[in-house]
Amino acid sequence: MLATYPYQGRTFAFDPAAPLDISLPLAPGEGQVNCFWAEPVQVEVIRVGSFVGSVALGGSTNYQRVHLTPHGNGTHTECYGHISPDPAATLDRCLRRFLFVARLVSVQPRPQANGDEVVLLEDVRRELEGGLEAAIRPEALVLRTLPNHRSKRTRHYSGTNPTYLEPALAHYLAEQHIEHLLLDLPSVDREEDGGQLLAHHAFWQYPQATRQVATITELIFVPDEVEDGLYLLNLQVTSLQLDASPSKPVLYALRQG
């Protein structure tokens, strides 16, 4: 049975029983995606007196402590608090809706004179302004970089100067009222840029006209079989009072009803 979703004077249909999970799981050990020199996820069995929080070790229940770094381990969503000293700039306050109409586009980063690989404004704009979906302005953009190697699921990015976005692209997305940006890279900015974070500032328009409800989700993975086009995005996060949270973005293919 299909469900419907009204948007911009149109009615779209989607199958709620056909979710497309584009998050990367959090798991302990070295075999998981990692960036910005974060320690791997650690899971520790809690022991209190004679109690052991592991059924495998003879306990009555599994009871564990998890150590993780949201910005460095797995798929995560961040708000403008990532670059602001405001203690109230936390993701749970900024992200109050969780369903959005999204456009998935695939682009090839381009090599620059300094050897960097950069996603350019002109390539993304061409994708967004072309095709039948161009008449529908999305609230979210899901960006898949090419080639789409499965190694993105387990890559250790630290010290590799990964692909990033041209700051002009981030500014364009803000102008186009794209509130939520999702990408399969560890950051919208260069790994080491002297603390400028130009694309972060441009996307959030911080601090002159801060877009407080806008979010950036990094380290997603969109399988090849998921086609470019329009989707309903369900952006799931934990209710942490931090600037970022592990997240689980889920897509549902949309078609006009």
Domains parsed from the chain with CATH numbers: 3-24+74-256 (3.50.30.50)
End-to-end CA distance of the chain: 13
Query: What residue ranges in the chain does DSSP mark as E strands?
Result: 3-7, 10-14, 20-21, 42-45, 47-48, 51-52, 64-67, 76-78, 99-107, 110-111, 117-119, 140-145, 164-165, 180-183, 215-218, 229-237, 244-253, 255-256
Residues making up the chain, counted from first to last: 257
State if pTM tops 0.95. Answer: yes
Tens of pLDDT, residues 187-243: 999 999 999 999 999 999 999 999 999 999 999 999 999 999 999 999 999 999 999
CA–CA distance, 70 with 245 (Å, rounded to integer): 6
CA–CA distance, 184 with 163 (Å, rounded to integer): 10
How many CB atoms neighbour CB 139 within 10 A? 17
pLDDT at site 253? 98
